[in-house]
Structure 1
Amino acid sequence: MQDFWPSSGFTQLQRTPRGWLQPTDDYLRLFLARLELALLPESCAAEQALHAALQLAPSRPVPEADLQALQDEDARESYSLFLRFRDGLLEAGTLEAYYLSLFRSGSISIPPLFIDLLAQAIVRNLLDDASDAYEVRAAEMLFRVQRISTQDGQVLAGDRDRLDMLNDHGGLGDFGRFLAEAKAPLRSVDMQVLTDSNAPDYWPTSDRHNFLLDLTHEVSNDLSHGLVLTMTRARSGLKALARVLEKWVQHFLGVAVRIRPLQQVDDEAWRWHVGLDVEATTLLNDLYEGREVAPERMQRLVSMFRLDFANPQEMRADVAGKPVYLGLMMNAGQVMKLKPQNLLVNLPLRAAM
């Protein structure tokens, strides 16, 4: 068991008997310390007073007049969004209940950043006893946008924000910008593909998101006479992601499923599918409806997965026992944004669940 993602706020949360996470004042204080709400030298007296009051009692009611007293329009908007998030979270009682309510309502009233921060804390909780760096690195995909690179048959996922920062400024922040403007040399991008040999280095640097994950499929060669040789990759990021998604479904829905990556789907009785991102959802819908799909678009499909329920009786009667196919895809800019909430609202569950 290892510690990881200290920025997730997991240690500031409390577990319920069900294993879900209850917000605390200390957890809410983490949001007050973020750049979006942190005080600036030019912050007005009203903003300073509001920030101090919330630091002291993050759950306190905030009258509308206190918000309107803020001179800066951006500050008013930031505090309004935080309070909307805070009030919804406190009303729901747990991070998981609030997360589910957001997507089941069909109306999202908070920014994507808050949703990703919720997902990070929740995943940190369900992987608390993890000892596999591949699994934890794969779990970053549930709340961090990935940039995909493909070369010589290899598919690598890297944290988009980390890669962009390194490429733009060498990872040196304002100093890196200064060097770039001065046309001084910057250090090369420092990203490693996660392997067994460097996996121990992942844990102390997990919040830096500086490891690439290999999402390349296993390669199967037909040896004729019905024999197939499967060249297995030593540690597959796709398999690690499948394990995380299994735990995600079990944690929220109490349903045991098995998920495994597929290179292709040969199923004439394909009945149900779930896109794990916007691009994959559209692609799978088109394939299911028999619409023609351009080869370039198909090439952006990173992987398919097959999901099977351990207990088919937990499925809708009309698809009970049938597999559910999942798709994961990058956009035309080679960016991939996984939406784990799709698994929670789009699986063919019995209505009573």
Structure 2
Amino acid sequence: MIAIDSTATLKPLHEFWLAGARARLATDARGWLQADDDFLRLCLRRPELSLVAESCPAEISLHQALMASPSAAVSAEQLNAIEDGDARSNFQLFVRFRDELLAAGSLEAYYLSELRGPQVTVPPLFLDCLVATIVGHLQAGCGDAFQVRAAELLFRTQGLTLTEGRLLCADLESLEQRQSSAGLLDVLSPANAVDFFAGDPERLFALDLTHEVSNQLGHGLIFNLTLKHSGLKALAQVLAQWLTHFLGKPVKITPLQKVDDPAWSWHIGLDVQAMRLLNDLYEDRPVDSARLAQLISLFRLDLPGRYPKPIYLGLAMTAESRLKLKPQNLLLNLPAELALLG
């Protein structure tokens, strides 16, 4: 089970993760999550909305009123009375987000409504909070540390490093803090999975995104060993859960090292770099070695009974070795026949 209890040390988005993982939210007939006052209080505890020493009396009054009753009506006069322009804007955004979220009926319905529009009308942070909560809900009760760690990629930017032929990813913000304080980095393994679930804030666990490891056997021989506990396999399971949750029917996603399909007809990039790269490869445009080196993995998506051909997915890092996975891409860029966002 997910048993990370050191909530005082968790970053704000992980509070939303735990709200989903601990089944704090009710679900509707589809299994979609319904926002309640406790969820809205999580939003109000975000750094962007929390009170600070400089908060004016109007901001303090409004924040306290909303913490007591998060769904209470807020007047334009209450918002306009906030002296600081940034704070006023943040509360205006929260009220609009809250009202639209409650009107939508579920976190998932609101999330899809934002994706359907010509442009996203709320800051990406609000959508990351929704993703963290939904993903946490999907991982509730999961005892696979690799899968739980992989699920964080859907809402936390990762930093990547190539070490002894292995591609490791770690939470970027935590990684930068460790580098400044000389903290240790653990590579997640079956041996330390218990430590991962213990949630020690002093330990940072990297996920291995390597397809296979090459062992030198001497005499020029190389033995390629496929990783039994693959971060890519765990990520594929998480992505399949995510898409199944929205489609309502099971899908299968499998990591690939290459696409060897003359009938390749559809692809989806799981991030900006991967989408551009797959588009260029599909159109047979030249791609230099530096861009190809940014490709972390390919995946095959199969939708039995829903779509007759495999859909290929790509995952890539930036030139600065960063990874910002966009789970919405799996929903936005499906073939029209699936009509999830029609």
Partners in 2 of 1:95 and 1:191 — Cα distance? 34
- Displacement after TM superposition at 1:35 (Å): 1.6
- 8 A contact 2:168–2:209 mirrored in 1: yes
Q: Secondary structure at the match of 1:18?
A: coil
Partners in 1 of 2:194 and 2:230 — Cα distance? 17
Q: Secondary structure at the match of 2:199?
A: helix
Cα distance per residue 1:105-155 (max 9 Å; x no partner):
231111121111111110111111211000000000000000111133210
- 8 A contact 1:253–1:344 mirrored in 2: no
**Counterpart for residue 107 of structure 1:** 119
The yes-or-no answer on 1:119 pairing with 2:131 is yes
The yes-or-no answer on 1:83 pairing with 2:70 is no
Partners in 2 of 1:272 and 1:253 — Cα distance? 18
**Counterpart for residue 63 of structure 1:** 75
Partners in 1 of 2:79 and 2:276 — Cα distance? 41
Q: Secondary structure at the match of 1:148?
A: strand
**Counterpart for residue 159 of structure 2:** 147
- 8 A contact 1:159–1:209 mirrored in 2: no
Residue identity in the other structure for 1:2: I
**Counterpart for residue 12 of structure 2:** none
Share of identical aligned residues, percent?
A: 50
Partners in 1 of 2:25 and 2:330 — Cα distance? 24
Partners in 2 of 1:151 and 1:54 — Cα distance? 48
Q: Pick from 145, 150, 172 the counterpart of residue 160 of structure 1.
A: 172
**Counterpart for residue 10 of structure 2:** none
Pair 1:209–1:136, CA change in 2 (3 A): farther
The yes-or-no answer on 1:135 pairing with 2:147 is yes
Partners in 2 of 1:73 and 1:271 — Cα distance? 49
Pair 1:290–1:206, CA change in 2 (3 A): farther
Pair 1:208–1:257, CA change in 2 (3 A): farther
- 8 A contact 1:162–1:209 mirrored in 2: no
Partners in 2 of 1:197 and 1:349 — Cα distance? 44
- 8 A contact 2:157–2:325 mirrored in 1: yes
Partners in 2 of 1:118 and 1:207 — Cα distance? 24
The yes-or-no answer on 1:331 pairing with 2:325 is no
**Counterpart for residue 290 of structure 2:** 296
The yes-or-no answer on 1:244 pairing with 2:238 is yes
- Displacement after TM superposition at 1:4 (Å): 4.3
Q: Pick from 218, 229, 232 the counterpart of residue 212 of structure 2.
A: 218
**Counterpart for residue 198 of structure 1:** 192
For residues 313-332 of structure 1, the aligned pairs below 5 Å read 314-315=306-307, 320=308, 322-332=309-319
Partners in 2 of 1:3 and 1:253 — Cα distance? 29
- 8 A contact 2:270–2:315 mirrored in 1: yes
Q: Pick from 53, 76, 79 the counterpart of residue 41 of structure 1.
A: 53
- Displacement after TM superposition at 1:257 (Å): 1.5
Partners in 1 of 2:294 and 2:278 — Cα distance? 12
- 8 A contact 1:142–1:338 mirrored in 2: yes
Residue identity in the other structure for 2:83: Q
Cα distance per residue 1:288-345 (max 9 Å; x no partner):
111101100100000001111122xx12xxxx2x111000000011001000111112
Partners in 2 of 1:134 and 1:46 — Cα distance? 46
**Counterpart for residue 233 of structure 1:** 227
- Displacement after TM superposition at 1:48 (Å): 1.1
TM-score (norm: length of structure 2): 0.89
Residue identity in the other structure for 1:3: A
Residue identity in the other structure for 2:31: G
Cα distance per residue 1:166-218 (max 9 Å; x no partner):
223x2xxxxxxxxxxxxxxxxx2222000010001111218788210000012
**Counterpart for residue 86 of structure 2:** 74
**Counterpart for residue 307 of structure 1:** 301
RMSD, matched Cα:
2.0
The alignment covers a number of residue pairs equal to 322
Residue identity in the other structure for 1:350: E
**Counterpart for residue 28 of structure 1:** 40
- 8 A contact 1:2–1:131 mirrored in 2: yes
Cα distance per residue 1:75-115 (max 9 Å; x no partner):
11111121122112111111111111111223111112111
| Structure 2 alignment gaps of length 5 or more | 8-14, 216-222
Partners in 1 of 2:275 and 2:165 — Cα distance? 24
- Displacement after TM superposition at 1:269 (Å): 1.5
Residue identity in the other structure for 1:323: P
TM-score (norm: length of structure 1): 0.86
Q: Secondary structure at the match of 1:202?
A: helix
For residues 254-273 of structure 1, the aligned pairs below 5 Å read 254-273=248-267
